[in-house]
Amino acid sequence: MRITLIFLLTFFVLTNSSFAILKVTKLPHENAEIERIYKLDNGKFIFIEQFVRGHIIWEYDQELDKFKEISGVWSFLDLASKCEQIKSKEIYFATTLEYWFAGGTNIDYPEIRIFELYEPNPWRDTDIGITPSMKYAKEWCTFYKPYYIK
């Protein structure tokens, strides 16, 4: 009885805690360093890959067993299903590396921009909004809980 109780408690803690490890078995390419995976309401998976100069956003279609590169950003922050006062659904928050006209970049306080998930060229002219902080955005948006976090 005692061994069964210990086994059940251990099993519960390991499978339902943040210490449980999920192994990523599908990768967009051999050396991909996956930082997060989200599962959309439509059943597709969004993989966020960390690479040398930012993040690459991939869509994985389980039915076709294929990855499709959506876009790349300097810093991916989070994925939301919807936000109040924004008509688009499936949107993400990110920063882009913006250069000043005479050289240099704004890396200390970049603007957090909002993009449609399937926008292939995220930039200042394709954003659908900006937010002062992610804390502010969390008041107005419904965010996906990551399916996997590295």
Residue 40 lies in a domain: yes
Nearest to 68 by CA among 94, 47, 41: 47
Q: What is the pLDDT of residue 17?
A: 40
pLDDT by residue, tens only, the chain of 150 residues: 677 656 555 555 554 444 334 456 788 888 889 999 999 999 899 999 999 889 999 999 888 889 999 999 999 999 999 999 999 999 999 999 888 888 888 778 889 999 999 999 999 999 999 999 999 999 999 999 998 998
Residue 3 lies in a domain: no
Which residues make Cβ contacts (< 8 Å) with residue 143, sequence separation at least 6?
A: 78, 79, 80, 81
Q: What is the pLDDT of residue 70?
A: 97
Q: What is the pLDDT of residue 8?
A: 56
Which residues make Cβ contacts (< 8 Å) with residue 19, sequence separation at least 6?
A: 13
Nearest to 57 by CA among 92, 30, 25: 92
Q: What is the pLDDT of residue 18?
A: 40
Residue 24 lies in a domain: no
Residue 7 lies in a domain: no
b/e sequence 63-79, b meaning 16+ C-beta within 10 Å: eeeebeebbbbbebbbb
Q: What is the pLDDT of residue 25?
A: 74
- The domain total for the chain is 1
Residue 65 lies in a domain: yes
Residue 118 lies in a domain: yes
Q: How many helices (H) and strands (E) does the chain have?
A: 2, 10
Residue 9 lies in a domain: no
Decide the pairing of beta strands 45-51 and 34-39: antiparallel
* Domain coverage including residue 108: 32-149
C-beta atoms surrounding 150 within 10 Å: 12
Residue 15 lies in a domain: no
Q: What is the pLDDT of residue 23?
A: 56
Q: What is the pLDDT of residue 7?
A: 59
